[in-house]
Amino acid sequence: MKNIIKNNHPILNVSFNILVDLPAPSTISYIWNWGSLLRLTLIIQLVTGLLLASHYNPRVELAFNSIIHITRDINLGWLLRIIHINGAAFFFILIYIHIRRGILFSSHKFLRTWVSGVVILFILIGTAFVGYVLPWGQISFWGATVITNLISAIPYAGKTIVEWVWGGFSIRNATLNRFFIIHFILPIVLASLIIIHLASLHITGSNSPVGVNSNLDKISFHPFFRIKDSLGAIVFLIFFIFIVLLFPNRIGDPENFNPANPLNTPIHIQPEWYFLFAYAILRSIPNKLGGVLALVIAILIILTLPIKTKKIKSSKFNPNSKAKFWFIVSTFIILTWIGANPVEYPFELVGQIYSTLYFIVFILI
């Protein structure tokens, strides 16, 4: 059957080769499974999100009650909701590991794949932010107020843009409706970008952990690495179900179980844990515009890696690059911890130090 396709259908032949006969380095290991796990997590998020959207009401008077309705009255609605919430957290865990694996093994040498991945990260951040507003709890409302107010730091037009985003002079029904629509559309854009990301990856092929990308050292992706992906998916699903059923609300903020109240400001407003590193960088700079620029540059800076890439086999075999890589990881963890703490001494000072080190190490890498 395979020979018939190859002989009679050239277009199908190309597709068949890309999806089945993709040449992959024989040395790649389970560390390369993160991309396939991200695809699996995206599918979970799309399915559960679509089902939840069918029962959600994007009005400020009814949004919080619609979440209660989903949790209590819809058949298995509680399960859909906690899968969707924890799925978002796992998505960021996987994508952060995926990015750092790419840095360690110099995957940024493949420019198109790397740039498309960074664009996916930006779209994912936007999707997660607007999605976090939809439950309309206290942290959802005040988090949206704080983050959207950052746009006002833009000179001259900032305040006008904020009012346009809100649909008025404060966060209201128009804001929640817009965020719901954006949260519904962005995953479709995200899925399209992932297809582009995979296509560019299949054109160049995966990089080898030993840095040898010769065609002589490549084997067919199927069935050898398809089996590894399948095993990784099984282990991931077991762990994911374990967390969902035994620790469903461990990652959430208890304050978000209270309905949004514009007259009652929470003592400590903070984003979800996967944004805390950027939040720590934002608040480490006293100037509002400077903090916003640092926040954006903290993500965009990974686009500079392909520009500075030297012709080395892999960062894994370069002691200096390995040291810088693990320093980036430790800095990221410390900034995440700082973001969860109040803006006071010594957390403010530590945040400023490690925010500076974060940028320095990316410049030197």
All structural domains of the chain, each given as residue ranges with its CATH number in brackets, are 24-265 (1.20.810.10), 270-365 (1.10.287.980)
How far CA 330 is from CA of 51, 127, 186, 271, in Å, comes to 38, 26, 31, 20
What pLDDT was estimated at residue 291? 87
What pLDDT was estimated at residue 20? 54
Catalytic residue among 108, 116, 229, 355: 229
C-alpha 351: how far from its chain's center?
A: 22
The pTM assigned to this predicted structure is 0.84
Catalytic residue among 107, 218, 272, 355: 272
What pLDDT was estimated at residue 11? 40
What pLDDT was estimated at residue 316? 54
229 catalytic? Reply is yes
Phi and psi dihedrals of 220, rounded to 5? -65, 140
Please count the helices (runs of H) and the strands (runs of E) in the chain.
Answer: 15, 2
163 catalytic? Reply is no
Q: At what angle do helices 319-339 and 77-104 cross, to 10 degrees?
A: 150
197 catalytic? Reply is no
HSE toward the beta carbon, residue 32, CA cutoff 13 A:
22
Catalytic residue among 6, 55, 69, 202: 202
Q: Along the 365 residues of the chain, how does pLDDT read in single tens digits?
A: 344 444 444 444 444 445 555 666 666 766 778 888 998 999 999 999 999 999 999 999 999 999 999 999 999 999 999 999 999 999 999 999 888 888 877 777 778 888 888 999 999 999 999 999 999 989 899 988 988 888 888 888 888 899 898 888 888 899 999 999 999 999 999 999 998 888 887 776 666 666 555 555 666 666 667 777 788 889 999 999 999 999 888 887 888 888 988 888 888 788 888 888 989 998 888 888 888 899 889 888 888 887 765 544 455 556 666 777 788 889 999 999 998 888 888 888 999 999 998 888 887 76
How many C-beta neighbours within 10 Å does residue 273 have? Answer: 18
